Each structure stands twice: as C-alpha cells, then as structure tokens.
Amino acid sequence: MAPSSNSTEFTDQGAAIPSAASNSLAVIAQPLAEFSQAKSYPLEIQERPFFDTAEVYGPYLNEEVVGEALAPVRDQVVIATKFGFTFGDDNRQQILNSRPEHIRRAVEGSLMRLRTGVIDLLYQHRVDPDVPIEDVAGTVKDLIAEGKVKHFGLSEAGAQTIRRAHAVQSVTALQSEYSLWWREPEGEILPTLEELGIGFVPFSPLGKGFLTGAIKEGATFGSDDFRSKVPRFAPAAIKANQALVDLLGQIAKDKGVTAAQIALAWLLARKPWIVPIPGTTKLNRLEENVGAASVELFEADLSRIAGALHEVKIQADRYLAALQARVGR
C-alpha cells in the first residue's frame, strides 16, 4: 500500500488516503450492502459499490475527489462520510467538535464537496466527550427528517454510547477497527450490534496492510505515513507478529488465493451484517480485495485460522495513547 504524499495524520484505513485527483481512490469499492433502518438486519443485500470517505481526509479534498468521480453514477452507489472535527490553521491539527451547529455546517460542506443532495450514511467520526451523544443523535435525526441524510452511523464508539444514541435515532452502522489482528470488538461490541440490529463496517480489515504479507521485518515508513507512529509497526512488533502472517500465507497458498483475501473472507464469514472496507491506492489491490467476496471458507479453513490465532499473541498497541483515548467512549 503505497503512501500518498498528501495523506493526513489521521486515517482509519492506515494506508494513505489520496487527496488529489491524480491519485487513485482509496475509498473502497467493496460491492456490498446498503443497510436497512429496520431493527432487524437486512436480509436482502443490495450489491452497490460502497464508498467511504470523510471531511478529515485531506482534509476536505478526498470528498471532492469522490464527489467528482461519482457524480455521473451517483444513483448507482452508496456514499458514507463523517463529521466530528474542526481543524487548526495548518489543516493538520484535529479538534473534536460534534456540537449541533458544527454538525450542520459539516453536513452542508460535505454535500457540496460530494456534489450530492443527500448523504447515504453519515457517521460521527469519533465520540466528542463534551457533547452528549443524545444531542448528536438528535441533530442527525433532524437532518434525516430534512432529507439531507439517509442513515446515521457511529465510529469507534463504546457499547453504552451506541445504546444511548440508538434510543434517540436508529443507528444503522458502526465503523470500528476489526481484523484478524484486532479482535476486541468480539467482546462487547458485536453482541451489542447483533442485539440492536446494527451493521458493522470494519476499517483496517487488513491490519493497515500488515495482513497482506507485504510488510516484512526491516520495513520502514515515511514520516507522512500514519504507520510510522503506530506501536504495532515498530520493528520489534513487526518481527513478533510476522508469525500470524506466515500462518495465513500457508492457508492462502493451500486455497490458491492471497493472504489479504483470506483476511477479508474471514470477516465476511463472521456475520452477514459485517461489511469490511479495505483501503488501497493501487488498482490491482482493489481488484484483489473485491475478489475476496468470492472466496469461500469452509469449517476446516475457519478451524485452521482459529488455530493460527491461538498460536500467535499479537504484540504492541494499535494506536498511540492520544488516539486510543478517542476510542470506545
């Protein structure tokens, strides 16, 4: 996953997010699922390309790229974007802000940049501890009533926050990190989502590129690459965690697919309402990722993967402490 020189410090996928028209879109065309607002999961999945972006990517420029690229086919795609930050004078400092008046300004800006009259799925990017989640959900509820938003989502929110928001406005989807090397959502989040009928959109399903097998011992990252600051990508952690990739690689070889496809197929096999969004800047990787939807994992395959996960204890944190503090509230 080649980094873009225009990437911001904060990206969900971990790979660089293109912020200029000359870059390939990294915002995923995994052809799955527009979620239902009903309390039960959608039994019929509409296979429409699903693009995930946010005002923070760039900032702003990624939404402009998405809007320009998808304008001719707007009625054939699902677009998700996110609010929740204001930016410093250099457009790099990110300050949590989910005050109702800011949400409205952010949505108007996103609508303009995306060249659309409605946002299909609007996430709060991170929970703002200074704004009650009921106020956030209520504001989005009003925007839905006004026809500017179709569905409400949360990102990296804790179970109790999800419940409180859902009581005000039905939450359609939660976006949080989940992959073969980050399984914390299995403890409390997935049972909560299943109970409430909320879809799950895992970001970094390929472990910010690590699960592809492309990142080896001795790998280095540029200063503008988010992973250069992530403890899990420190040299010692890469060396320790390589054992998981090696085991996945053997399973992939036996099935005639790639390690990345195994990692994505594993997520798709977990629950029918899980829709991973792998990010990439390369067309061949995009095609590889989409191909994962055709990979069938049998019980024996899942048992082998479970065995691999049992054998390897993943080392190091997924975030710096400052970013981890924004998670699970």
Q: How confident is the model at residue 46 (pLDDT cuts 50, 70, 90)?
A: low
Residue 20 inside a domain? The answer is no
Task: Enter the tokens of residue 258.
Answer: 């790639």
> What is the Cα 111 distance to its own chain's centre?
20
Residue 27 inside a domain? The answer is no
| Cβ-contact 54, 45 below 8 angstroms | no
How many other C-beta atoms can be found within 10 angstroms of the C-beta atom of residue 283? 10
Residue reference for tokens 């429409």:
48
Domain count, the chain: 1
> Omega of the bond prior to 59 within 30 degrees of 0, cis?
yes
Residue 34 inside a domain? The answer is no
Q: Is the pLDDT of residue 4 over 50?
A: no
Residue 106 inside a domain? The answer is yes
Alpha-carbon dihedral of residues 305, 306, 308, 309, nearest 10 degrees? 120
Residue type, 163: R
Residue 262 inside a domain? The answer is yes
Q: What share of the chain is helix, strand, coil (3-state, %, to 5)?
A: 40, 15, 45
Structure confidence by residue, pLDDT tens digits, 203-262: 999 999 999 999 999 999 999 899 999 999 999 999 999 999 999 999 999 999 999 999
Q: How confident is the model at residue 312 (pLDDT cuts 50, 70, 90)?
A: very high
Strands 94-96 and 85-87: antiparallel
Q: How confident is the model at residue 327 (pLDDT cuts 50, 70, 90)?
A: confident
Question: Containing domain of residue 60, as a range?
Answer: 50-324
What amino acid positions are annotated as catalytic residues?
Answer: 57
Residue 33 inside a domain? The answer is no
- What 3-state DSSP class applies to 58? coil
Residue 272 inside a domain? The answer is yes
How many other C-beta atoms can be found within 10 angstroms of the C-beta atom of residue 134? 13
CATH of the domain at 163: 3.20.20.100
Q: What is the pTM of this model?
A: 0.86
- What 3-state DSSP class applies to 51? strand
Residue 36 inside a domain? The answer is no
